[in-house]
Amino acid sequence: MKQLRNIGAMALSFVCLGSAHAATKPEATPTQVKLFFIEALDPKDTTSSQRFQQEYELAISKGKEFTSSQLKNCGFELTSTTYFYGASDPIQAKEQAERATKEGAWLLIGPRRSNHYLILAKGAPEIPSISLMASSDEIGELGNIHLTLSPANSEMAKAAAEEAAGRIPKDQSKTYVAVVSSDCLACKNFEKHFDKIASAIGLKKAASLSVVGDQPDVTKLSEELKRSHPAFILLPNYSIVTTHLISAIHSMLPNAFFVGGDGWGDPQFGFVQNGLEVGDAEGFTVRGFPPMRAGLSTFKLGKNLMISPQFSNLESSSALGILSIFNQTAELLCKTKPKTNAEFVKAFQKHGPRLFSPPWGTSIYNLERRNIVFLKSSGVGR
C-alpha cells in the first residue's frame, strides 16, 4: 500500500509536472510597444544630414535587435516608426506628434533641438517622450512625462564657466563677450545660466551680441569685439552658426578663445570640427555626451554592441542616445510589464525620470587644430 501510495504520489507529481510544462509551452502574443522617432533634418547642416539620418536609422535597428530577446522574454515586442521633417519648419514636430498619437504611440523619441521638442510636447501632451539632446530649462517644466537625455543647460553652463575661468591666465582680464543666435531657445537659455554662474565666480560679461540666421553678418560685431578685448567669446550656438562666427571672428582677432554650449556637434558630425574655415582657432565646448565607447560602456546593450562586428558604423551622440533609450525602455517594460498604453504612461511617470535621466554628465571637448577632441568628463550630472 505504501508502495502504491508512493507510485500514486509519483504519478501525481508527473501529472503536475506535465501540466506545468504544458502551461508554459504555448507562447503568448507579445504586447506591441510602438515607438515613434521624430527628428528634424536640414540638408545644409552636417549634424542633420543624410549621413546622420542613415546612422540614426541604423541605431534604431540595432536598438531593436539587441533588445528583442530580452523583451520577448518579458512579453513585449518593439515596433518603430520614424518621421523626419525639415528643420526650418518646426511646427511639423507638433503635427508629427499628433499623427503618432493617432497611430497609438507608446513612446516618442523627440527632436534634439529644444524648441522643436517643446513644440512636439504640445502635439502629444499625454504621450511619454524623450529628447536626445534638448537642454533648455523649459524641458524640466514639462513634467515627468517629457524627459531629455541631455543635462540641463544650467549644469552644462556651470561646467563651461568653471572650465573657462580656470583657463584664463592670471594676468588677463576676466571678461567675456557672448554672441548668441537670437532665434535659438537653448542658446539663449545657456547664455542666461552661464552669465549667472560666471558672475558668481568672478567673470565679467563685457557685451552680449545677438545674431540671426545661419550666416549672420559679423561686421556689426567686430567693433564691439575689438573694443572689449575679451578673454574668451561665448558661442553657445549650433554648429553651422558657430563655424561661421569662429571663422569670421578668428580672422579679425586671431588670439580669440572660444567657449561653446551644447551645440557645436560631436567629433564626427558638425561644422566646427574639420571645418577648414576655423583655421587654428582654439576653444572648448561642453556636451552632455561622452565619446561613443565611453558612453556605450555604461549600459548593457552598449556593452553587447561593442563586441558585435557592426559597432564601428555608429559614431554620433544621437546614436548613443537612441541605444541608451532602447536599453532603458526594455528595462522599464520588463520591470513594470504594462499591458496597455495607459499602464505604460503610469510606469513612465513613475520610473522614467530615474531611468532616462541624463546618464553621462557633462563632458568637455577641446577645439584643437580643426578637431573637437574629448578632454574630460566634468562629473557634473549623474
Enumerate binding residues for other proteins (CB under 8 A): 88-95, 115, 118-119, 122, 136, 138, 181-185, 188, 210, 212-213
Phi then psi for residue 160, to 5 deg, are -65, -45
Question: Would you tell me the crossing angle of helices 317-336 and 341-355 to the nearest 10 degrees?
Answer: 120
- The DSSP symbol for 122 reads H
Question: Minimal distance in Å, beta carbon 250 to other proteins?
Answer: 24
Question: Minimal distance in Å, beta carbon 182 to other proteins?
Answer: 4
Q: What does the block give as the cell for 269?
A: 558630425
Residue 184 or 272: the one with the smaller Cβ distance to other proteins is: 184
- DSSP E strands in the chain: the ranges are 31-41, 76-86, 107-110, 129-131, 146-148, 175-181, 204-211, 232-235, 257-260, 282-287, 363-368, 371-377
Question: Minimal distance in Å, beta carbon 29 to other proteins?
Answer: 38
Residue 118 or 197: the one with the smaller Cβ distance to other proteins is: 118
Question: Minimal distance in Å, beta carbon 188 to other proteins?
Answer: 7
Residue 110 or 290: the one with the smaller Cβ distance to other proteins is: 110
Distance, in Å, from the CA atom of 99 to the CA atom of 81, rounded to the nearest integer, reads: 11
Residue 8 or 213: the one with the smaller Cβ distance to other proteins is: 213
- DSSP E strands in 158-203: the ranges are 175-181
Segment (H or E) for 78? strand 76-86
Would you say 267 and 291 are in contact if contact means Cβ atoms under 8 Å apart?
yes
Would you say 124 and 105 are in contact if contact means Cβ atoms under 8 Å apart?
yes
Question: Minimal distance in Å, beta carbon 218 to other proteins?
Answer: 15
Residue 138 or 315: the one with the smaller Cβ distance to other proteins is: 138
Residue 44 or 335: the one with the smaller Cβ distance to other proteins is: 44
Question: Minimal distance in Å, beta carbon 189 to other proteins?
Answer: 8
